[in-house]
């Protein structure tokens, strides 16, 4: 067929069917066992570090491992003699990518408000729009609160007197949890927790009074190269901004700034689909999270209100940035080729029953099971694969409980990108974290579902009305992904 994927037809049919009754799952396809197609990786025995996609050609391995080394390597403060590794900060959140995306998996939010946040951060803005950043950066602190700095740097100033030039960290984020009790229709109860944010030691004075904050946990980055090769037309075909099919689920494409092409483009990566491409996501992470400037983001993470940050030495190369285009592409390549786990026991009878319930409760209306990736000249092994990410990569209004109130390009303060579910059952093994949803509030798949509201409220309702064994089956299915 042409650009209209077979599954968009399925979605249309499903919408009509649900109006009259519940919807059945399509017959099980053995291809579902391999969420990344031929690129899927066996995670048993459990790997000790990040594995490349199973079908990575031998000729592409050196680039992958070079990128992996760069993603692991702690960046250090400039200046140094080995200038390929310096330029950290001056303000930053972590020294390496994998400090947050542990083994390519997700970050975590501490259970106690005493411990500051490390593998998650706060995005900041004030009301208004910026043509490139989307939201207007907070005037002093910028687009995200960096909780680390290169600390005290002694500099010679004024007639040779040595004065400490302190680059204060911007502040420490502590998350306090408020507990709620959720009661199922059958009387069973679960404890849920919602975050309350406290910022300690603001380094540069008060935040703007209208500051909007969004707590975001590092998501898993497996399969990014496959997501990159999904045809935008396939995603567009799932969007239904005006909810014309009347199923209560809209789904919108975010429109963001493409820093490479210098144009507006559909967003796909990031928790609000706030990044247009994988390379922009990686380059933005270098600049914002590690403080490493690069060809796409050449600015140090210092605002005009942070002179001590601006006066720090940089780690620039001859092109005036800390990370060259070549090294940037190596790390992009590493992200692109991170293997997606194979499913475990997909044909177990309980899991199969759960699969049926996944469709019956309407999860797949947002968690779109499959796509076929576009052919790619640069990445032939990732092209033409039937993949099972369980996301439509669209924005959905998830209701007031999950709202962060902070718009991001065209995403409203209530909208989030459908989280891909592939690999979710291995989260604990991969990164040690089971903190789900954008801010890590959910400690299990069950809790994540119970927070679904807005467009997903009917689906959540259907889940809560299942019998206990059925709920267990559905959770087993999700955890088998």
Q: For binding to ligand HEC (CB under 6 A), which residues are involved?
A: 71, 93-94, 97, 99-101, 119-121, 123, 216-219, 221, 224, 249, 269-272, 274, 281-282, 285-286, 289-290, 331, 335, 361-363, 365-367, 396, 398, 402, 416, 418-419, 421, 424, 436-438, 445, 448-449, 452, 455-456, 459, 463, 478
d(CA 52, CA 294): 25
d(CA 87, CA 221): 24
Least Å distance, CB 46 to ligand HEC, is 20
Tally Cβ neighbours within 10 Å of residue 120. 24
Least Å distance, CB 155 to ligand HEC, is 27
Q: Which is nearer to ligand HEC, 56 or 296 (CB)?
A: 296
Least Å distance, CB 156 to ligand HEC, is 32
φ/ψ of residue 134, rounded to 5 = 85, -85
Least Å distance, CB 157 to ligand HEC, is 32
CB 391 within 8 A of CB 222: no
Residue 383: closest CA among 224, 226, 232: 226
Residue 299: closest CA among 127, 309, 207, 97: 309
Least Å distance, CB 440 to ligand HEC, is 8
Q: Which is nearer to ligand HEC, 34 or 285 (CB)?
A: 285
Least Å distance, CB 366 to ligand HEC, is 3
Q: What's the burial of 409, exposed, middle or buried (CB within 10 Å: 0-12/13-18/19+)?
A: buried
Q: Which is nearer to ligand HEC, 165 or 352 (CB)?
A: 352
Q: Which is nearer to ligand HEC, 204 or 359 (CB)?
A: 359
CB 50 within 8 A of CB 338: yes
Q: Which is nearer to ligand HEC, 226 or 398 (CB)?
A: 398
Q: Which is nearer to ligand HEC, 101 or 343 (CB)?
A: 101
d(CA 357, CA 424): 18
Give exposure, 428-457, as e/b (b: 16+ Cβ within 10 Å). eebbebbbbbbbbbbbbbbbbbbbbbbbbe
Q: Which is nearer to ligand HEC, 5 or 134 (CB)?
A: 134
Least Å distance, CB 150 to ligand HEC, is 15
Q: Which is nearer to ligand HEC, 206 or 220 (CB)?
A: 220
Least Å distance, CB 147 to ligand HEC, is 8
Residue 25: closest CA among 294, 460, 450, 367: 367
Least Å distance, CB 102 to ligand HEC, is 10
**The Cα angle at residue 369 between residues 405 and 356, in degrees rounded to 5:** 105
Q: Which is nearer to ligand HEC, 281 or 306 (CB)?
A: 281
| Residue matched to tokens 């044909």 | 347
Least Å distance, CB 161 to ligand HEC, is 36
Cα distances (Å, whole numbers) of residue 290 to 65, 124, 158, 270: 20, 17, 31, 17
Tally Cβ neighbours within 10 Å of residue 404. 23
Q: Which is nearer to ligand HEC, 271 or 309 (CB)?
A: 271
d(CA 99, CA 316): 23
Least Å distance, CB 96 to ligand HEC, is 7
Residues comprising the chain, all counted = 481
d(CA 122, CA 143): 8
Q: Which is nearer to ligand HEC, 204 or 422 (CB)?
A: 422
């Amino acid at each position: 067929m042409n650009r209209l994927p077979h599954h968009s037809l399925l979605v249309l049919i499903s919408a009509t069917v649900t109006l009259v009754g519940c919807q059945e799952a399509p017959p099980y396809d053995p291809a579902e066992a391999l969420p990344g197609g031929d690129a899927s990786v066996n995670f048993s025995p459990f790997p000790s570090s990040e594995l490349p996609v199973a079908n990575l050609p031998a000729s592409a391995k050196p680039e992958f491992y070079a990128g992996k080394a760069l993603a692991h390597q702690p960046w250090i403060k400039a200046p140094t003699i080995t200038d390929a590794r310096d330029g950290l900060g001056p303000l930053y959140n972590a020294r390496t990518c994998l400090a947050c995306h542990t083994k390519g998996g997700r970050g975590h939010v501490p259970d106690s408000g005493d411990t500051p946040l490390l593998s998650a951060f706060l995005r900041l803005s004030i009301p208004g729009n910026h043509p490139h950043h989307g939201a207007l950066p907070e005037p002093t602190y910028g687009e995200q609160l960096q909780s680390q700095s290169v600390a005290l740097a002694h500099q010679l100033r004024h007639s040779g007197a040595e004065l400490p030039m302190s680059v204060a960290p911007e502040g420490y984020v502590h998350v306090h949890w408020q507990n709620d009790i959720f009661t199922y229709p059958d009387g069973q109860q679960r404890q849920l927790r919602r975050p309350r944010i406290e910022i300690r030691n603001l380094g540069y004075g008060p935040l703007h009074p209208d500051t909007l904050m969004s707590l975001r946990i590092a998501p898993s980055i497996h399969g990014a190269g496959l997501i990159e090769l999904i045809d935008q037309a396939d995603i567009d075909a799932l969007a239904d901004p005006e909810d014309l099919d009347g199923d209560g689920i809209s789904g919108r494409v975010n429109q963001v700034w493409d820093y490479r092409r210098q144009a507006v483009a559909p967003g796909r990566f990031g928790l609000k689909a706030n990044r247009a491409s994988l390379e922009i996501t990686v380059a933005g992470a270098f600049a914002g999270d590690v403080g490493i400037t690069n060809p796409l983001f050449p600015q140090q993470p210092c605002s005009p209100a942070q002179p001590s940050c601006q006066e720090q030495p940089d780690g620039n190369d001859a092109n005036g940035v800390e990370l060259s285009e070549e090294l940037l592409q190596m790390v992009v390549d590493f992200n692109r080729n991170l293997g997606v786990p194979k499913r475990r026991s997909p044909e177990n009878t309980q899991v199969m029953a759960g699969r049926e319930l996944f469709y019956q409760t309407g999860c797949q209306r947002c968690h779109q099971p499959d796509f076929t990736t576009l052919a790619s000249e640069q990445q032939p092994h990732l092209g033409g694969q039937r993949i099972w990410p369980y996301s439509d990569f669209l924005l959905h209004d998830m209701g007031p409980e999950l709202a962060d109130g902070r718009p991001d390009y065209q995403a409203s303060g209530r909208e989030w990108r459908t989280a891909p579910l592939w690999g979710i059952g291995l989260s604990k093994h991969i990164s040690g974290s089971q903190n789900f949803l954008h801010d890590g509030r959910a400690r299990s798949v069950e809790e994540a579902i119970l927070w679904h509201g807005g467009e997903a409220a009917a689906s959540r309702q259907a889940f809560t009305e299942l019998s206990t064994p059925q709920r267990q089956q559905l959770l087993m299915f999700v955890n088998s992904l």
